[in-house]
């Protein structure tokens, strides 16, 4: 096995272990044993468990971010964009469940860079930029776009965290229901929303 092949083998094994059990529960010994190599081989390639984890997280964040960003293009109808974002996330989960679970786990403080939370934050920022002109076209205040961007990205992210374990209904049906709620909410928004419920007096 070449050095590059060994590196990819270690990444694949560690990705599966970290995704299933989280960073803290996996040891270098386990990774080395699963790869049928000695611990020094892992250290030689990555410097330690943190270095290996960092490589995997960076790869997953890049892949997921690129998949989601590619669906958020100016000129798309907002509903089409919502459908594409939700389906893209579920596509990623379907083919990269270990990677998604890894991103969803709490990352060790020593590891810098992205997690699923930072990916969703990026999605929220991009959705906000795309929503502002849409809101303005509907006679709504574009300054409220960050609120709706955060809501949409958060809802989509939470659906992903739920669906990765249940896997039903199908990704298409799940996406259709998500878009049904989110799009109808966007389409029917009031220009000047007010709270209707009043807290009861103590």
**Tens digits of per-residue pLDDT, 8-36?**
999 999 999 988 888 888 999 999 999 99
pTM exceeds 0.75, yes or no: yes
DSSP letter at 25 equals T
Please say whether the beta carbons of 71 and 92 come within 8 A: no
Using an 8 Å Cβ cutoff, are 92 and 63 in contact? yes
pLDDT of 111: 58
Residue-wise pLDDT tens digits, 83-131: 998 999 899 999 988 888 887 775 565 555 556 787 888 888 888 888 8
Query: Can you read off the two tokens belonging to residue 114?
Result: 């992205």
Q: How far is Cα 145 from Cα 135, in angstroms, rounded to an integer? A: 7
Q: Which architecture does CATH list for 57-187? A: Orthogonal Bundle (1.10)
Query: What is the DSSP code string of 70-138?
Result: TT--TTS-HHHHHHHHHHHHHHHHHH-HHHHHHHHSPPPTT--S--HHHHHHHHHHHHHHHHHHHHHHT
Q: What is the pLDDT of residue 195?
A: 86
Predicted confidence at residue 45, as pLDDT, reads 95
- pLDDT of res. 11: 95
pLDDT of 182 reads 84
Q: What confidence tens digit (pLDDT) does each residue in 147-200 have?
A: 988 988 888 888 988 998 899 899 999 999 998 988 888 778 888 888 887 766
CA distance 44 to 37: 12
What digits encode the pLDDT tens for the residues 45-71?
A: 999 998 999 899 888 888 888 888 888
For residue 106, what pLDDT is reported? 59
78: pLDDT strictly greater than 60? yes
pLDDT score recorded for residue 112: 57
């Amino acid at each position: 096995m070449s050095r590059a092949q060994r590196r990819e083998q270690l990444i694949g094994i560690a990705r599966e272990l970290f995704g299933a059990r989280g960073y803290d529960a996996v040891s270098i010994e386990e990774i080395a044993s699963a790869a049928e190599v000695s611990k020094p081989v892992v250290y030689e390639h990555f410097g330690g468990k943190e270095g290996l984890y960092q490589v995997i997280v960076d790869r997953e964040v890049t892949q997921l971010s690129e998949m989601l960003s590619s669906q958020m293009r100016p000129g798309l109808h907002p509903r089409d964009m919502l459908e594409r974002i939700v389906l893209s996330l579920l596509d990623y989960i379907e083919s990269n469940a270990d990677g998604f679970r890894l991103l969803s786990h709490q990352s060790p403080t020593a590891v810098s860079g992205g997690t699923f939370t930072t990916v969703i934050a990026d999605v929220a920022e991009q959705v906000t930029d795309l929503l502002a002109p849409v809101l303005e076209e509907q006679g709504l205040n574009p300054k409220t776009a960050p609120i709706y961007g955060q809501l949409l990205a958060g809802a989509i992210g939470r659906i992903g965290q739920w669906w990765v374990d249940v896997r039903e209904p199908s990704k298409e049906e799940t996406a259709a229901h998500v878009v049904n709620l989110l799009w109808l909410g966007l389409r029917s928004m009031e220009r000047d929303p007010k709270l209707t419920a009043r807290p009861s007096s103590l």
